Amino acid sequence: MTDPLAPFFLGAYGENNDFFEKTLLELVRDHVYWRRNFHPEDEPPIDTHDQYTRAYLDGLARTRHELHQLTAALKRSVPSFHPRYLGHMVSDLLLPGLIAQLVTTLYNPNNIVEDVAPITVQLELEVGRQLARMLGMSVDPNHEPCALGHLTSGGTVANDEALWLARCSRLYPLALRDACAAVGAWVPDIPVHPGSTDLELLALGADEVLAMSRRVAVFCTGDPRGPELFAALTAARVEELGLATFADRHPSLKRLAVVVPATAHYSWYKAMKLLGLGAGNLVSVPVDDARLDGAELEAALAGLRREERPVLAVVGVYGTTEFGTLDSIHELVEVRQRFPGFWLHVDAAWGGYLPTLFRDRHGDLLPREAVRKDFRYFPSERVHQATAALAEADSVTVDPHKLGFVPFGAGALVVRNRRVLDLVQQEAPYVFTSPPEEDDRRYRALGRYVLEGSKPGAAAAACYVNHRVLPLDHDHFGRILARSVQTCEHLVDRVPSLKQDLAPWARLSIPFEPDCNLVCLAVNPNGNRSLRAANAFGHRLFETMDVQPGQPVQLKEFFGSCTTVPLDHLGAAERARIGEELQLDVDTPDDDGLFLLRHTLMNPWLQASPGPGEPSYVEAYCHFLVRQVKALVESA
């Protein structure tokens, strides 16, 4: 039976090269004809005779030489396309998107604004709608809130932008109250009154703030005091004053907190520094088994409330970078009812495409049983609920360049209520030559509303074509994710016998039951109780599957990745279990963390075998591990 995923990747052996080459050539020629037919009456600016001169040929030769040098050097690249690669969050690329990206680059559209990218800006906004629907958000422009998604260069920038939007919207009511007081004009029917305190205003939810900002806009254009209020409001906002002056006026904001799980990606520290919020105000909540739940969050928020520290945003992670675990987003949503006001962002840079497994062709959420029939364990009830709750987040980061299988340079931010973008609108008369339009067409001037400026339209084309060929639902894109999760289950099921295979030399443990498609393993040589020694052994083991600069990649059998889990990420029970399984002293540890081999199981052919009668790549990897552990122990 034909593998349904086979037509969609170039393949470890370049199996689809014929299609790839032919289509690319056809589309490159098509592009050249487009150039020629633009104004065929014009003389070509490059004289044909020149093309036969020595200087000209020399130019071509130098180009060719350098390109060959480049591609020769690139042969030492990491072979992330291959099922022998189980390392970082990258794999073979989806062929439709790859071709779309290569070909669109020839047209070089800049998605900063529709004037310079009339086609690909539309594609980017459509990709945003596709992602928003996948997350369960409404994209109906006739109903508030209407979601909007757009592409970024990656997850880091999407996270930066989310925090920027959170700050903008959460502090807006405070500025409005200051402006109304200064002008002596109060906008009717909004929850901002002369007596409103900072704390009351900070308890307003995102939709309330954004509805308020719409009413204020109407007042500012319709009321005789409007222009004066508008000027005062602009002057009173944090965007104008800067955080230091704003906090002088609102002293409770001096230690404005952003709450993240201890497993959060390091980009959150960068975001805090960048926005002037201070990395020291990133409140990292301890997690039990690398998952944040409602109780942990609630305890952290209660503590901050006692300290009278307002919370700007809470971040949940849907797919932690190091362990692939998913936070209980539904519980975070629930906690927001008791601690109203915070901006809820979900960092789903890694797990963002998993919801394709949960959505039918109409975008409806499938019941857990319907998803479960393709798997042995996935999805747990908790994971199903966490997925359903993504729609309630104020913003979500999704990385197409991870589980969306497109080339790097494609992250995405989806906001549940696009009105928030109006609050960050930035004018630039040379780019945005007409005033913002009133209806939803205005977001086509993307650069006016998003953090980045010039943006590759080619990335939008790649995502768009992929999502058209494989719509973001269970029966299409979901099949790729299903394969990945099934591979993970396969490896997890293999662990008990792998433990036996390793028993003469070492002990093995899975520190966290995987929630999806990333699994970590910890190894300790027999007889060792020292955490530090186990970690040193793990490092040596990892070196056998790490890229060594200067060494041909063909010498490696497998590629992996690694991380270290701090012991305080492990709950007491987990810690005791892992200590017992590995026979390690975790009560009086001589190191802070435990070294882990980390496997992102993205490649769709990990369960295929390298040859007839040979075991699958996953199985071969297990054999490889046993051989390496044996060799390391015996050489010690």
Ligand X SMILES: Cc1ncc(COP(=O)(O)O)c(C=O)c1O
- Least separation in angstroms between residue 408's CB and ligand X is 8
Position among 172, 350, 353, 405 found at the interface with ligand X (CB under 6 A): 350
Q: Is 152 helix (H, G, I), strand (E, B) or coil?
A: strand
Which tokens sit at 142?
A: 């006739």
Q: Which stretch binds ligand X (CB under 6 A): 25-33, 104-112, 347-355, 455-463?
A: 347-355
Nearer to ligand X, 349 or 470 (CB): 349
Position among 156, 356, 387, 544 found at the interface with ligand X (CB under 6 A): 156
Position among 124, 296, 392, 399 found at the interface with ligand X (CB under 6 A): 399
Position among 97, 145, 154, 457 found at the interface with ligand X (CB under 6 A): 154
Nearer to ligand X, 325 or 509 (CB): 325
Nearer to ligand X, 158 or 277 (CB): 158
Q: In what side-by-side order are the strands of the sheet with 561-566?
A: 506-509, 518-525, 593-600, 561-566
Position among 11, 341, 411, 511 found at the interface with ligand X (CB under 6 A): 411
Backbone φ and ψ of 317, nearest 5°? -110, 125
Site mask for ligand X (CB under 6 A), range 192-231, x = bound:
----------------------------------------
Nearer to ligand X, 110 or 156 (CB): 156
Rounded distance between C-alpha atoms, residue 545 and residue 540, angstroms: 10
Residue of 566, 268, 512 whose CA lies nearest to 380: 512
- Least separation in angstroms between residue 518's CB and ligand X is 10
Residue 517 in contact with ligand X, rule: CB under 6 A: no
Nearer to ligand X, 190 or 332 (CB): 332
CB 205 within 8 A of CB 341: yes
Residue 349 in contact with ligand X, rule: CB under 6 A: yes
Residue 511 in contact with ligand X, rule: CB under 6 A: no
Residue 514 in contact with ligand X, rule: CB under 6 A: no
Q: Where in 68-107 is the site for ligand X (CB under 6 A)? A: 89
Cis status of the peptide bond prior to 145, with omega within 30 of 0: yes
Site mask for ligand X (CB under 6 A), range 260-279, x = bound:
-----x-x------------
Instruction: Report how many residues bind ligand X under the rule CB under 6 A.
Output: 14
- Least separation in angstroms between residue 88's CB and ligand X is 8
Site mask for ligand X (CB under 6 A), range 307-326, x = bound:
----------x---x-----
Q: Which stretch binds ligand X (CB under 6 A): 29-37, 245-253, 342-350, 430-438?
A: 342-350
Q: Is 19 helix (H, G, I), strand (E, B) or coil?
A: helix
Rounded distance between C-alpha atoms, residue 148 and residue 562, angstroms: 35
Return the DSSP state at 514.
-
The residue behind tokens 């340079």 is: 409
Handedness of CA 352, 354, 355, 356 (dihedral sign): positive
DSSP per-residue string spanning 245-300: HHHHHSGGGGG-EEEEETT--THHHHHHHHTTS-GGGEEEEP-SBS---HHHHHHH
Q: Are strands 257-261 and 282-285 parallel, antiparallel or unpaired?
A: parallel
Nearer to ligand X, 96 or 261 (CB): 261
Q: Is 9 helix (H, G, I), strand (E, B) or coil?
A: strand
Q: Is 518 helix (H, G, I), strand (E, B) or coil?
A: strand
Interface residues with ligand X (CB under 6 A)?
89, 154-156, 159, 265, 267, 317, 321, 347, 349-350, 399, 411
